[in-house]
Structure 1
Amino acid sequence: MMRFDPFREIEELTQRMDRAFGGAVNSQTARLAPPVDVHEDEQGLELTLDLPGVQPDDIQIEAENQTLTVQAQRRYNRQEGRTAHRVERAYGTFSRTFSVPAKYDLTKVEADFDHGTLTIRVPRSEAAQKRTVNVRSGGQLNAPKTVDAGQGQPGEPQPQIGSQDQPG
């Protein structure tokens, strides 16, 4: 007589579901979606992805049309004469695509891969850099003001293009 083991039943059900829907054991259908951290500062964007077990040669980064795409592959190493009793880590390929605002320069993307962490830096474009503008008043130079291209200062009304008719 066999004792009822709920954990064994759950494990068998999980294995049947993996086989039915192409679980992570099949490296051709497995999809990885590693988490990403996205930070922004005055220099630009920084995206950080964890890619443990991925070789640098298996990473491809494409940047075009305000889109940044990261593709990578984590290979499963099958060995003859060795039986896998459990394969829980994800293997296969993945692709993540990020929409990047026009104020960033995709022609100057830099990437570093260190100890399984991919760091991608996208600098601000020259047109979006903060710059100092000298303001003249009555022909005299006043204190310079720093403005961010494409944005007004917080709390300031935005300039309107066109005209509005006022009832007279």
Structure 2
Amino acid sequence: MTIFPRSRRNIMSLVKWNPWREIEDVFDRNIKRVPSRLSDLGFATSEDWTPKVDISETDKEFIIKAELPEVKREDVKVTVDKGVLTICGERKQEREEEGKTFHRVERYYGSFTRSFTLPENVDESKVDASYKDGMLNLKIEKTEEAKPTSIEVEIK
């Protein structure tokens, strides 16, 4: 496993550490290797549909890019509530039409939700969202961090 220290630092500043989440991630990564899952047998299930996301940071903002292929703009919703940014939506499956038969379905369909805890140094009211070619791009503006000040306290 390759770790890029700078990238890892940036991601860690965006998400609060939750030990249970790490345990769930390890479980999820390993359970996908079990061949008894329907998706491994050629059947896609809705619980497998989770869009891939990249999170980066500049001096002025955090940038979140989510891959949402074949999801229509009107089927995507982005909300920010109490420091948590949530992306949810749905990729709808093609309906069988007369004369059209599906022999194999490997792509995932259905509803999805991704949530991210925002750091304290962002302005939740200044989230810029754009959507083009199946990519959702979010830019979250940073605020000035409170800088600690040094004061001398008079002892009486």
TM-score normalized by structure 2?
0.65
Residue-by-residue CA offset, 1:100-125 (whole Å, 9 max, x unaligned): 01110111111000111100011012
Give 1 or 2 for the bigger CA radius of gyration: 1
Change (3 A) 1:44 1:161: farther
Give the gaps of 5 or more residues in structure 2: 1-34
Change (3 A) 1:88 1:105: same
Give 1:33's aligned residue.
50
Task: Tell whether the 8 Å contact from 1:59 to 1:70 is kept in structure 2 after alignment.
Answer: yes
Identity among equivalent positions (%) equals: 27
- Counterpart residue type for residue 133 of structure 2: H
Greater relative contact order, per chain length (Cα 8 Å cut-off, separation 6+) = 2
Task: Tell whether the 8 Å contact from 1:31 to 1:94 is kept in structure 2 after alignment.
Answer: no
Give 2:68's aligned residue.
51
TM-score normalized by structure 1?
0.60
Give 2:19's aligned residue.
none
Which structure: greater helix fraction?
2
Give the CA deviation at 1:150.
2.8
Task: Tell whether the 8 Å contact from 1:53 to 1:116 is kept in structure 2 after alignment.
Answer: yes
Q: Find the residue that maps to 2:93 and give its secondary structure.
A: coil
Q: Find the residue that maps to 1:57 and give its secondary structure.
A: helix
Counterpart Cα distance in 1 of 2:114 and 2:48: 11
What is the aligned-residue RMSD (CA, Å)? 2.7
Aligned pairs, how many? Answer: 117
Counterpart Cα distance in 2 of 1:161 and 1:61: 46
Task: Tell whether the 8 Å contact from 1:31 to 1:93 is kept in structure 2 after alignment.
Answer: no
Match of 2:108 among 90, 95, 102: 90
